[in-house]
Amino acid sequence: MATEPYRLETAPERKLTGLSGHYDMTTNSQIPALWDRFNTFELPERPDPEVYYGVCYNNSDSGFDYLCGVEIADDLELPAEFNVLDIAAQTYAVFTHTGHISGIGHTWGQVWQQHVPQFGLKVLPAPFYERYGPDFDPESGNGEVTIWIPVAG
């Protein structure tokens, strides 16, 4: 469930690394398997070891690319399967999902179908993401996840 109201936040440039795949609305149920595979890797040194990202980018009529990963500070030696994604500094509308992760699809639906039109947000063609911080427990799937949508400031 998305909490209201959203907040506007300017995020700095981020360099993320992790596994990615191409999905559409009929295959996005396979994203948890990507996370399962990602979790088998030893992760590189990073600025905040308690934060993970799920990023949607390269959105088109055929679907979107999704990266599950972490932020890194520098170019590091990474597993061959990892991709690097640079995200520019950007203003975001930030929504909060609370509860079990299985409900995040419902929260995304609320954001796109209700909140974006209700608040008149001008969404920009840039990556948007989920941020899993220390308030999220990956073992139980419960906790807080923030959803970051790029908007015109």
Q: What is the CATH number of the domain that holds 129?
A: 3.20.80.10
**What pLDDT, on the 0 to 100 scale, is given for residue 45?**
83
Beta-sheet strands, E only, within 25-141: 52-60, 63-71, 83-87, 90-100, 128-137
For the chain, the domain total comes to 1
Model pTM score = 0.93
Q: Please check whether residue 1 lies inside any domain of the structure.
A: no
Q: Please check whether residue 39 lies inside any domain of the structure.
A: yes
Peptide linkage before 12 cis (omega within 30 of 0): no
Both tokens of 4, joined, read 């209201």
Q: Please check whether residue 2 lies inside any domain of the structure.
A: no
Q: Which residues, given as ranges, of the chain have pLDDT below 50?
A: none
Q: Please check whether residue 17 lies inside any domain of the structure.
A: yes
**What pLDDT, on the 0 to 100 scale, is given for residue 1?**
58
**What pLDDT, on the 0 to 100 scale, is given for residue 86?**
95
| Residue-number span of the structural domain to which 27 is assigned | 7-150
